[in-house]
Structure 1
């Protein structure tokens, strides 16, 4: 059998998962086949390292419900096999919808009305509803998960920007040329190329592929902001992920708050239309958007007042496809894509890697039907 040279462009959740599941496929031969991850900045340096890590098994539409069920079960399997509880903070969680408004209240709100999230402010809670409970909702801290998958794949990691896909006279791919930040050119042998560069996928496709191929890979990005905070000593958060809608005069705030096992909270929201930069290293947050997240979270709980410590202020770009659905599958002979997962990249990412490995090696996905997501 001819040796395969897999080049995965992108070191996020989808790229790292694809590399991992290629390496675990029964037809992969580690003595002759090779996997290379080409990443312009660092593994998990973009949205996969800065997202919240909320996982939902059954919150998805018909196009992605099968992929979501597969991916959710794979998250649990990975955690069981590699101690995800300690290595990337995998745990089941309760998901709540919080409806509220800023204004005078009639005294204390009973903790039962807060569905166990006792730290919510009496001043803002009108209604809490349960959106999800274990075993169908969970969370991870994405950055160490992605880094672990890349490491377990035993792929070579090349920190460089992909510049060209080289093909012979018959159209067969034989290498990928990349350029390091120092300006050095690197040529990587390739038989199969996976585009998994998140919001940069569409831009890369235009550079690396034919116009007909690139039209199947239309993905761009929308900037979103987040902070990671730690309440002051003695203030203990619960195992909840909150999706909020809080009215303040004529404005509605909708931050999402994911409490993490080690006592921090990931708080996100505040998207905008600032254009996608050249690479992940050039993504910077808006100071006003970060300030908004801090003030909005302080309305929801005094755990997030000025006494909290802010551990990270960050931004990333959510990958959005032209169809607003993920694009997963074969683009052309030797070219594959996994991108455009928007806010569901972490939930769907490991399953996407699994089915891409099957499509590349077996010629079709067997773990679930992703036909509606094909390029």
Structure 2
């Protein structure tokens, strides 16, 4: 590839950076693209997330609606091109709300697209306990995010992507300083997830309004009770409460969301919990968003939400008390997920999602020749492909000195909507 072509440097090797690289490299006369990543490709939430993809507008804030639809369609196209069912577990799924006991709220941080009246039908049947609330199932899918990122990185590499494992240390104009040397760029993309604000500070830029949302998850290998043959391709969003004689009635407690007290941490359960049966046979369980209290990482203690300095240190923060809360909730929802009856806990981990004050991402130009794509919150996987498409369109238009023609309306995702207004040069 000719060195005279523009050079785009992307800091962040997660699913947002990879999709940006892929769509930059897939167009006519692609630029040179380098990803700078300080750990390894998809080291954080990009490989540890549930992999749920929701394209229907009912799941999303108005600012995200067109981007979500674009993303779902792009995933469908990529699955067809890259043999998604085999290479990254792509499949269509149904979605169902579940209410157990006295808990009406079914998600701690998502708006669920209830189909019709909010009326539960007694007894969900099948693999889960509780009352069923039918959700909108149009354009719902799932993938294995780690496998997807690996496949997309391979495709990008075949198209000419250069990957540099290094840590940015500063910036001199349009030269990025890293621990592995200097990189001159024409356009710079900041896609470092919850570390994007720290990255801005390192590069002498105002901090973007991106914080972090911690989230534990577990994976359980189910044990099928007698009469249960298979767990369906059905994602569950569950409110789990005590009452109705269920197994949690004896340990009921009224607690605030996300930050349970000490007794509730050790004896309670996750009140709003999500279940995602995967193509590999395991069930991914999430919804525990309390701040981990694991002792031993002084570098994280003073940081908001105890965000570790790098993705490589997240696993050390796994909080066994929060894991146990999800295990107890899983037992209440499905007999197939009861560890006392043969189910196996195969993974317990923690990741931090980047999140903005209004819970919608920021996508666009942060400073002259410097773009940002971050803050996707719990919708990072869902919105990743669309984010890559529109950001590549913005960059291509900028390079050509043309007005961008975007595939989705992202006017509500402008990076400076929280202030300050962008100055010409920073």
Q: Which moved more, 1:63-72 or 1:202-211?
A: 202-211
**Is residue 54 of structure 1 aligned with residue 89 of structure 2?**
no
Label 1:176 to 1:365 Cα distance change in 2 as closer, same or farther (>3 A): farther
| Structure 2: distance between partners of 1:149 and 1:67 | 19
**1:252-271 to 2 correspondences below 5 Å:** 253-271=271-289
State the secondary structure of the residue aligned to 1:369.
Answer: coil
Structure 1 distance, partners of 2:136, 2:276, is 13
Instruction: Say whether the 8 Å CA contact 2:224–2:336 is kept in structure 1.
Output: no
In structure 1, what is the Cα distance between the partners aligned to 2:358 and 2:328?
34
2:216 pairs, out of 221, 225, 231, with 225
Decide whether the 8 Å contact of 1:25 with 1:357 is kept in 2: no
Matching of residue 142 in structure 1 with residue 145 in structure 2: yes
Q: Secondary structure at the match of 2:21?
A: helix
Residue 108 of structure 1: aligned partner: none
- TM-score, normalising length from structure 1? 0.87
Q: Could you say which residue in structure 1 is the equivalent of 2:95?
A: 95
- Looking at structure 2, the residues matched to 102 and 331 of structure 1 have their Cα atoms a distance apart, in angstroms, of 46
Which structure has greater strand proportion?
A: 1
Cα distance in 1, alignment partners of residues 150 and 17 from structure 2: 11
Q: Give, in whole Å, the separation in 2 of the partners of 1:113 and 1:329.
A: 47
Q: Is structure 2 residue 253 aligned with structure 1 residue 247? A: no
Deviation above 3 Å: which 4+ runs of structure 1? 112-115
Q: Determine if the alignment matches structure 1 residue 275 to structure 2 residue 306.
A: yes
Going from structure 1 to structure 2, the CA distance change for 1:114 and 1:148 (only over 3 Å counts) comes to: farther
Work out the CA distance in 2 between the residues paired with 1:95 and 1:357. 32
1:280-337 Cα distance to aligned partner (Å, 9 max, x none): 0111211111111111101111111121122211000011113322000111221001
1:17 and 1:349 in contact (8 A); partners too: yes
Q: What is the Cα deviation at residue 166 of structure 1? A: 2.2
Q: Establish whether residue 201 from structure 1 lines up as the match of residue 204 from structure 2.
A: no
> 1:102 and 1:320 mapped to 2: Cα distance?
30
* Distance apart, 1:102 and its partner CA: 8.0
Aligned equivalent of 2:329, options 293, 296, 308: 296
Q: How many residues align?
A: 342
C-alpha distance in 2 between matches for 1:256 and 1:233: 19
Partner of 1:237: 231
- Take 1:130 and 1:94, find their aligned partners in 2: how far apart are those partners? 10
Contact 1:8-1:195 at 8 Å conserved across structures: yes
- Measure, in 2, the Cα distance between the counterparts of 1:205 and 1:22: 23
Alignment check: 8 A CA contact 1:356 1:365 kept:
no
Partner deviation per Cα, 1:53-106 (whole Å, 9 max, x = no partner): 111112212111010110110010000110111111111101000011189xxx
TM-score normalised by length of structure 2 = 0.77
Is residue 2:136 matched to residue 1:132? yes
> Is this contact kept in 2: 1:90–1:141, CA < 8 A?
yes
Aligned partner of residue 27 in structure 1, secondary structure: coil
Q: Distance in 1 between matches of 2:203 and 2:327?
A: 41
Q: Structure 1 unaligned segments of length 5 or more: list them.
A: 104-111, 168-172, 180-184
String of CA shifts for 1:214-257, please: whole Å, max 9, x gaps: 3xx22121210001111136752111000000112335711100
Q: RMSD of the TM alignment (CA)? A: 1.9
**8 Å Cα contact 1:236/1:263 also seen in 2:** no
Matched with 1:356 is 391
Distance in 1, Cα, partners of 2:143 & 2:343: 22
C-alpha distance in 1 between matches for 2:276 and 2:154: 27
